[in-house]
Structure 1
Amino acid sequence: MLILAALALAQSAPQPGPMQTFGDWVVACDNGKRCEMTSLLPEADIGAEGDWQISVVREAGPTGLWSVELMGEVKPGIRLSIAGSDAASASAVWRGTEFSGGQALAIVRAMVNGRIAQLHDARGTLIGRVSLTGSSASLRFIDAQQGRAETVTAAVATGARPASAVPAAPAIPVIASVRPRGAAVLSPATLKQLWAESDCGENYDGDGLPSVERHALGDGATLALVPCGAGAYNYSSVPYVVRGGKAVLAEFDSPPGWGGDDGPPMLVNAGFDPTTGELGSYAKGRGIGDCGSSETYVWDGKRFRLVGARAMGECRGSTNWLTVWRARAVPR
């Protein structure tokens, strides 16, 4: 019954979770109420590529735990220290994996009133700083999104209500997917149709038409990705599904980040995994990849269904895009 209920839930259009910027931090929660916040470069340093980042995750539900991760040229022995008031201090040594348990909790508690996070190497030399401006507001956002306000589990909006008052983590959708099988078939006539209907050939006048990428979807269906122009670091393609020699635009339960109501769905830097059947789109806002959006889909026999979405709306040095949607694909 639980699987049937989750499958029914998956029929509705995906509603990605919220994302918010507070000072030098971005925070987002997905549809399962798992929340993550990540540091940005301060405004004065926009345009530079960040060397160090901190990511903080809290799982949903009454017993949801914290984890803290360092990102950059991280090596075992690096010490993370939170500086601020006497009550806002914590220190932990990186052992090669995320901080969890009591260490993560101490770091988070110190961040509430902390001013700066400092990183020292094993010899005690200062090697990096991460601004904590906005981290407290981000933690409060997580409290609100997960229903923790005024409970003993809150990071900022603490209160006397017990952990049992925190809502359980919502179930994520389960999607029955078709695993790829068979052969990818595109006849010369179908290729001609794809180029004519997509109008993408106009982007290659005089240069010759590039190859159309094709993948078997199963049950006689072929995914055709028609190249449709390129920039410095983004390569666009229009997806079609071909059956019995007839090509139609691919359908999505949640459209890719590019394209619009007046045009066809547009994948960016598309990739297809023939083993899992996952179709990905990854649109970068800048060449260094510190902002943009990405979507991952699976084929259910009729349309592509969203199983993962990540985003970063601030072009401020963070290559840690935050998850705003999750679903679980079950091969059928």
Structure 2
Amino acid sequence: MKASYTTALFLFSTLTAPVLAEQSGISFEHKDWEVTCDNTLTCRTAGYANEEGAGGSVLLTRQAGANTVPTGEVILSETDSEDEAPVTKLTVWINGVSAGDLTAAENDTWRLSQPQTLGLINAVKGSGKVEFKGGHTPFMLSNDGAYAVMLKVDDVQGRIGTPGAWTKKGNKPESGVTKAVPAPVIQAAKVSKEPSRLLTQQEITALKPRLMATLTDDLQCDRLNPDEEEKGSISDEESDKLTYIPLDNTHALISTLCWRAAYNEGYGYWVIDKALTGKPAIVTDSGDDYRDGEISWFQKGRGIADCVSMAGWVWDGQTFQKTRHANSGMCRYIRAGGSWDLPDFVTEVKPAP
């Protein structure tokens, strides 16, 4: 059975950071802090309270390159009570002294000013105290893991030993800091407006062996060839049900349910010629939707969906290219749908002409 939640976690190796980042991105977590650096070397660092659901979370975002400055955001934990008034003022206190009010932003987030952000970083990476007041309950930001995660950011972005490092500062010139890596550019292609249909049993019989031949240890579709136990859990409506989706004059997309777990399910998607005579190419075994040339992937980390992972692919006229992969941060009972958007792979997609 397919695992119910897959998070891209790529640890450091002996490869240099830029090379590794071009391939996938880097994620690292320690205690109450985590960081995800995407393939452009932008790093997003999230910190939490010591206890799940207590207070909220902080997000620090820093782009690669010399002399860049981090931005800071805060979200507060959602409450189950409908009677509590909305929060209208949030103040950050650093080492027992007020550092001023935050600015309310979109999606119930709060923005830290640059001085507030830098003050927070300097405090939390050591033994300082950072607290947010004004919410329904005080939010005390944990220090546990902050230094290790910030050191990882400095390492990925080549800042160790420079004045702009968060941790191990030095006198190395900023000109030596690793430059940002350009995001890959993808040109989306127009897709057909023809309606989709179910394959006939004759088409399924001819195509299924070729679909199964595309499967690997990492890409599975148990329901294409279920064992006896699995057959008992598959309804007649789900059994041997493959959908044919026209893409353009020469290509089509095949889709079928591949697996189902406690609170997630995954659909397989394959590109093939419209006549169904060629070799199919698998895109994913865990998609959840196709719409207008885009395949999406969304998986819950647990049933309440306070942590999720997401991915997407777009049709470029020949294949589906991955456009994005992200997770929402730790499972901390903060918000339904997750706390943040932490991509490890991003692209620039140009819309179809």
Question: Taking structure 2 as the reference length, what is the TM-score of the superposition?
Answer: 0.72
Change (3 A) 1:14 1:301: farther
Q: Which residue of 2 aligns with 1:267?
A: 286
Aligned: 1:244 with 2:274 = yes
- Return the match for 1:138 from 133, 140, 149: 149
Are the equivalent residues in 2 in contact too, given 1:19–1:28 (CA < 8 A)? yes
Deviations 1:21-68 (A, max 9, x none): 1221011211111001112453xx4xx545511111111111322111
Aligned: 1:323 with 2:346 = no
- The residue type equivalent to 1:250 in the other structure is A
- Return the match for 1:208 from 236, 241, 251: 236
Are the equivalent residues in 2 in contact too, given 1:139–1:155 (CA < 8 A)? yes
Q: Distance in 1 between matches of 2:48 and 2:171?
A: 33
Aligned: 1:91 with 2:99 = yes
Change (3 A) 1:156 1:102: same
Q: Distance in 2 between matches of 1:132 and 1:33?
A: 24
Q: Distance in 2 between matches of 1:70 and 1:95?
A: 10
Q: Distance in 2 between matches of 1:80 and 1:21?
A: 24
- Return the match for 1:65 from 44, 66, 69: 69
- Return the match for 1:112 from 125, 131, 139: 125
Aligned: 1:233 with 2:233 = no
Q: Distance in 1 between matches of 2:22 and 2:282?
A: 14
Number of aligned pairs? 296
Structure 2 unaligned spans of 5+: 1-20, 79-85, 106-110, 213-221
Deviations 1:244-300 (A, max 9, x none): 231754344xxxxxxxxxxxx4114x12331xx331112223123344532211122
Q: Distance in 2 between matches of 1:31 and 1:147?
A: 14
Q: Which residue of 2 aligns with 1:303?
A: 319
Q: Distance in 2 between matches of 1:204 and 1:241?
A: 26
Q: Which residue of 1 aligns with 2:115?
A: 102
Q: Which residue of 2 aligns with 1:4?
A: none
Are the equivalent residues in 1 in contact too, given 2:163–2:172 (CA < 8 A)? yes
Q: Distance in 2 between matches of 1:230 and 1:51?
A: 34
Give the drift of 1:325.
1.0
- The residue type equivalent to 2:299 in the other structure is A
1:282 alignment partner, SS class = strand
Deviations 1:58-86 (A, max 9, x none): 111113221111122483411122338xx
Q: Distance in 1 between matches of 2:118 and 2:38?
A: 21
Change (3 A) 1:71 1:313: closer
Select between 157-166 and 135-144 the one with higher mean Cα deviation: 157-166
2:165 alignment partner, SS class = coil
Q: Distance in 1 between matches of 2:190 and 2:22?
A: 21
Change (3 A) 1:241 1:219: same
Change (3 A) 1:126 1:290: closer
Are the equivalent residues in 1 in contact too, given 2:252–2:274 (CA < 8 A)? no
Change (3 A) 1:315 1:126: closer
Q: Distance in 2 between matches of 1:129 and 1:237?
A: 41
Give the drift of 1:316.
4.4
Change (3 A) 1:208 1:82: farther
Q: Which residue of 1 aligns with 2:9?
A: none
Are the equivalent residues in 2 in contact too, given 1:83–1:114 (CA < 8 A)? no
Q: Distance in 2 between matches of 1:183 and 1:311?
A: 34
Change (3 A) 1:78 1:298: same
- Return the match for 2:94 from 58, 76, 82: 82
Are the equivalent residues in 1 in contact too, given 2:196–2:243 (CA < 8 A)? no
Give the drift of 1:158.
1.2
Q: Distance in 1 between matches of 2:67 and 2:208?
A: 54
Deviations 1:1-39 (A, max 9, x none): xxxxxxxxxxxx962112111221011211111001112
Q: Which residue of 1 aligns with 2:185?
A: 174
Structure 1 unaligned spans of 5+: 1-12, 253-264
Q: Which residue of 2 aligns with 1:23?
A: 31
Are the equivalent residues in 2 in contact too, given 1:251–1:302 (CA < 8 A)? no
Q: Distance in 2 between matches of 1:303 and 1:192?
A: 24
Deviations 1:117-167 (A, max 9, x none): 322117xx8532221211122222111111111112112221123322223
Q: Distance in 2 between matches of 1:54 and 1:213?
A: 43
1:113 alignment partner, SS class = coil
